[in-house]
Structure 1
Amino acid sequence: MSHFQDVAGSITSDEFSPAKETEARKALLGSALGYAMDGFDLLILGFMLRIISADLGFGPAQGASLVTATLIGAVIGGVVFGMLSDRIGRVRVLTWTIVLFAVFTGMCALAQSYWDLLIYRTIAGIGLGGEFGIGMALVAEAWPASKRARVSSYVGLGWQLGVLTAAIVTPLLLPVIGWRGMFAIGILPAIAAYFIRHSLHEPDVFVERTAKAPTASLPINLLVKDAETTKISIGMVILCSVQNFGYYGVMIWLPNYLSSRFGFGLAQSATWTAVTIAGMAVGIFLFGHAADRIGRRPAFITYMLGAAIMVVVYSKLTDPTALLFGGAVMGLFVNGMLGGYGALMSELYPTTARATAQNVLFNIGRAVGGLGPVVVSAVAASWGFETAIALLALLYIADMLAFWLLIPDRRGAELT
């Protein structure tokens, strides 16, 4: 938590009164904290899939489907909670999503079979699906335009903090408390929900815009209100799908790849994964600053090109030390773009549909990304993991074309 306080505290602006700056820091901290809990939960699932499968008696395909079910649930949650947030407020609905996610993650500790675990993971995913877009909208509306990309990237860093924590503590806690105990820890985000509900207020821009321009139309209809907006929405679906497919395709199976190919134990596999995650965190931080300085389009195109190159390079590495450093550089490009989606979509859609756009478009990408572990597993089984990860390069090339042709750069635009 102190990391985000330091980051938020380092950002000052003449555009802020002291009271507004304090509120903006709280919004940043609350959104990042909620997103950290999501990242922690999803990565511990990756580490525990083999143990859970053995304990409950199901195979690798069913194990991978638990990840897919979580992400499909996120699409449902994204649509429902995004529209609610655009209608009745960011803070209240963000609290609901965190509580739902926390309770059903904790319920996973009580699972007795594949099917009830699948149900709990799906419902937890519904809560998870609401958090990203609402938190990003809250932060974008609380901070001035000149800082929008970097503070959005700090929310993204919350996810990385969560997954990095999972990579560090799982080898320590899993042998002691087992997979059920690890899921039981998932109830802790309820504390973050209390903090958010009682410490934050709705951003001024949300209150003013919704008061001036109430709409009878569903917020989701505004994502396809005309040809130009529809084109942008299609482009964002492509970008978010590639982002999530690449991330989940790599991260869910990376510990298993290091274990099966190089004989890494749990602790060593976790260390190599943690270094990759650290590279992602650096990439997110740098991306936010670059996008504020040089524009959204140059920053995204540069990172997409870097990701296309690095997944190919990583697939060719065989030395464990090279994998350690190569993983960090690959992570920098593959997930660094996460820091830009919040700012990008906040500038492309109005306040009355902002959280809906963030949630619906990014979580459609999550649903497609949920196929990443399944596809990577199938390709790896037939042609090897090296081939599976190298094929991701083609997706990043398509990503670059979609951005160039479909997405305008509205860096620094005032929110409407």
Structure 2
Amino acid sequence: MENQSLETNNMFEEMPGDKKITKYQWQTLWASFTGYAMDGLDMMILAFALPLISSDLGLNSAEAGFISTITLIGTVIGGYIFGALADIYGRVKIFSLTILIFSVFTGLCAIASNIFWLDLFRLLSGLGIGGEFGIGMTLVSETWSKKYRSRATAGVAVGFQVGIVLATICVMLIAPHFGWRGVFLIGVLPALFAWWSRRKLDEPELWKKSNQARKANDRKIPLKQLFDSPKRVGITLGLILITGVQNFGFYAIMTWSPTMLADQFNFSFSDTTSWTVVTTIGMILGIIVFGYLSDKWGRKPSYIIFQLASAIIVWIFFQQSAFALLLLLGAIMGFFVNGMMGGYGAWMAEHYSTEIRSTAENFIFNSGKGIAGFGPFIIGYLALKHSLSYSLGLISGIYFLAAIAVVLLIPETKGKELE
């Protein structure tokens, strides 16, 4: 297990007086890591396959963008449903169910005969993948100490980038021989491995105690806890806004950038693949650094720095056309735009109690994804009248809104014990 998670080990250096990190903690991190990797795999498979799908099914840019949008809508619905079920029936049980649903409908995408069936299967596969982030982050947050909590959730977030790399390899090896349908079919295999890796994992003690108390008192999951005071309303809405901004920018950029590089700048498939790999490396480094800074400096300053830096680098990136410069700036853009993924799980977990934590994490993050779901469609629509680079550059402004939300609405929680 430790060997499979080497990229995160340097984030968890033992300090004098710290308790040793246990095998169970590493197991929860690995199970959550592999689950979130499937989210990245799914998103990037679609991004790479989109030109092939558009050509095969005769789609315009708006119709192609809607495939991503309807997938994200599915993740929102699935996140709401499975997040609540994980609070009632257990993190691990529902975690395993979600990945099986994702596996089945991802495989069915391979036999979709037209855009209707492809959109339907993408919607249903989104239901399964929707619970992966919130449940996985909840599981890790509840089993790792406050000292390492943000670094641990950053380790989960790295899984998404590994999924992107897997998707890149999958498309490179499969698409030339079997087309986009073969890519979706092969994409089922890693998802089944993710299910296998968590099949014997035990539920966290925090959830067991909370569930016993809930059953003893015959309590329902108190959804109103997300909005039970003006301050809590501000926190919940603020978290939704910052996750929405981050997801909107990320999904729009990563869905459309390969197409922009190919169509607008005539980059080869090898060039766009190289850009994706370099950008993904930047993302991994950004997540690791963000998790460390969030535990050391605090949640608020880390987010403000990364949000303002994202606004600047996104604007600069989409003004360029030289391949070497796009590679360098792609890594820097990835570092800041997706580095923030390293802290959401910990920060959300610290604002809500155990009996509603999975519900809260999934509701907030997937509501943000719901906002983000319109990103690829909006960019695709704008591209009907403007260039893709111009349309994508407009994303820069939304990061300033996120920074304002952090300053005004969301309290610092560094070092807080979970309730």
- Aligned to 1:112, the other structure's residue is in SS state coil
- Aligned to 1:328, the other structure's residue is in SS state helix
Deviation at 1:168, TM superposition (A): 3.6
Matched-pair contact (CA < 8 Å) for 2:28–2:139: yes
Q: What does residue range 55-74 of structure 1 map to in structure 2 within 5 Å? A: 55-74=56-75
Residue equivalent to 2:35 = 34
Question: Could you tell which deviates more after superposition, 332-341 or 313-322?
Answer: 313-322
Query: How far apart, in 1, do the equivalents of 2:211 and 2:134 lie?
Result: 18
Matched-pair contact (CA < 8 Å) for 1:98–1:127: yes
Matched-pair contact (CA < 8 Å) for 1:8–1:25: no
Matched-pair contact (CA < 8 Å) for 1:105–1:121: yes
- Aligned to 1:411, the other structure's residue is in SS state coil
Matched-pair contact (CA < 8 Å) for 2:141–2:345: yes
Residue equivalent to 1:197 = 199
Question: Could you tell which deviates more after superposition, 7-16 or 168-177?
Answer: 7-16
Q: What does residue range 69-218 of structure 1 map to in structure 2 within 5 Å? A: 69-188=70-189, 189-198=191-200, 200-214=201-215, 216-218=219-221
Deviation at 1:84, TM superposition (A): 0.5
Deviation at 1:63, TM superposition (A): 1.6
Deviation at 1:22, TM superposition (A): 0.5
Query: How far apart, in 2, do the equivalents of 1:96 and 1:203 lie?
Result: 17
Deviation at 1:55, TM superposition (A): 1.9
Match of 2:335 among 322, 332, 337: 332
Query: How far apart, in 2, do the equivalents of 1:218 and 1:203 lie?
Result: 18
Residue equivalent to 2:5 = 5
Deviation at 1:8, TM superposition (A): 5.6
Matched-pair contact (CA < 8 Å) for 2:41–2:167: yes
Query: How far apart, in 2, do the equivalents of 1:35 and 1:227 lie?
Result: 33
Query: How far apart, in 2, do the equivalents of 1:3 and 1:185 lie?
Result: 25
* 1:384-413 Cα shifts (integer Å, max 9, x gaps): 233322322210011100111000010120
Deviation at 1:169, TM superposition (A): 3.6
Match of 2:398 among 390, 395, 398: 395
Query: How far apart, in 2, do the equivalents of 1:5 and 1:259 lie?
Result: 34
Note closer, same or farther for the CA distance 1:3–1:267 as it changes in structure 2 (3 Å cut): farther
Query: How far apart, in 1, do the equivalents of 2:287 and 2:9 lie?
Result: 18
- Aligned to 1:391, the other structure's residue is in SS state helix
Question: Could you tell which deviates more after superposition, 374-383 or 394-403?
Answer: 374-383
1:383 aligned to 2:386?
A: yes
Look up the equivalent residue of 1:196 and give its one-letter code: R
Q: What does residue range 282-301 of structure 1 map to in structure 2 within 5 Å? A: 282-301=285-304
Matched-pair contact (CA < 8 Å) for 2:248–2:369: yes
Residue equivalent to 1:341 = 344
- Aligned to 2:130, the other structure's residue is in SS state helix
Deviation at 1:358, TM superposition (A): 1.0
Note closer, same or farther for the CA distance 1:4–1:287 as it changes in structure 2 (3 Å cut): farther
Matched-pair contact (CA < 8 Å) for 1:83–1:220: no
- Aligned to 1:33, the other structure's residue is in SS state helix
Deviation at 1:210, TM superposition (A): 2.7
Give me the TM-score of the superposition, normalised by structure 1.
Answer: 0.95
Look up the equivalent residue of 2:414 and give its one-letter code: R
- Aligned to 2:385, the other structure's residue is in SS state helix
Query: How far apart, in 2, do the equivalents of 1:318 and 1:186 lie?
Result: 32
Q: For structure 2, which runs of at least 5 residues remain unmatched after alignment?
A: none
Query: How far apart, in 1, do the equivalents of 2:151 and 2:351 lie?
Result: 17
Match of 1:234 among 237, 242, 251: 237
Q: For structure 1, which runs of at least 5 residues remain unmatched after alignment?
A: none
Deviation at 1:64, TM superposition (A): 1.2
Residue equivalent to 1:414 = 417
Query: How far apart, in 1, do the equivalents of 2:161 and 2:150 lie?
Result: 17
Identity rate of aligned residues, in percent?
39
The alignment covers a number of residue pairs equal to 413
Query: How far apart, in 2, do the equivalents of 1:9 and 1:331 lie?
Result: 21
* 1:141-195 Cα shifts (integer Å, max 9, x gaps): 1110000001100100000011122224422321022211111123221222122
1:318 aligned to 2:321?
A: yes
Residue equivalent to 1:261 = 264
Look up the equivalent residue of 1:382 and give its one-letter code: K
Deviation at 1:15, TM superposition (A): 5.1
Matched-pair contact (CA < 8 Å) for 1:303–1:336: yes
Give me the TM-score of the superposition, normalised by structure 2.
Answer: 0.94
Query: How far apart, in 1, do the equivalents of 2:140 and 2:115 lie?
Result: 38
Query: How far apart, in 2, do the equivalents of 1:327 and 1:12 lie?
Result: 30
Note closer, same or farther for the CA distance 1:290–1:389 as it changes in structure 2 (3 Å cut): same
Query: How far apart, in 2, do the equivalents of 1:245 and 1:232 lie?
Result: 20
Matched-pair contact (CA < 8 Å) for 1:82–1:133: yes
Residue equivalent to 2:248 = 245
Deviation at 1:372, TM superposition (A): 0.9
Query: How far apart, in 2, do the equivalents of 1:60 and 1:66 lie?
Result: 10
Match of 1:270 among 268, 273, 276: 273
Query: How far apart, in 2, do the equivalents of 1:219 and 1:197 lie?
Result: 29
Look up the equivalent residue of 2:140 and give its one-letter code: V
Note closer, same or farther for the CA distance 1:22–1:167 as it changes in structure 2 (3 Å cut): same
Question: Could you tell which deviates more after superposition, 276-285 or 186-195?
Answer: 186-195
Query: How far apart, in 2, do the equivalents of 1:65 and 1:39 lie?
Result: 18
Question: Could you tell which deviates more after superposition, 7-16 or 366-375?
Answer: 7-16
Note closer, same or farther for the CA distance 1:349–1:191 as it changes in structure 2 (3 Å cut): same
* CA RMSD after TM alignment: 1.7
Matched-pair contact (CA < 8 Å) for 1:145–1:412: yes
Matched-pair contact (CA < 8 Å) for 1:103–1:186: no
Note closer, same or farther for the CA distance 1:407–1:33 as it changes in structure 2 (3 Å cut): same
- Aligned to 1:348, the other structure's residue is in SS state coil
- Aligned to 2:321, the other structure's residue is in SS state coil
Deviation at 1:16, TM superposition (A): 4.1
Matched-pair contact (CA < 8 Å) for 1:35–1:158: yes
Query: How far apart, in 1, do the equivalents of 2:401 and 2:308 lie?
Result: 10
Comparing both structures, which one devotes a greater share of its residues to helix? 1
Query: How far apart, in 1, do the equivalents of 2:138 and 2:58 lie?
Result: 42
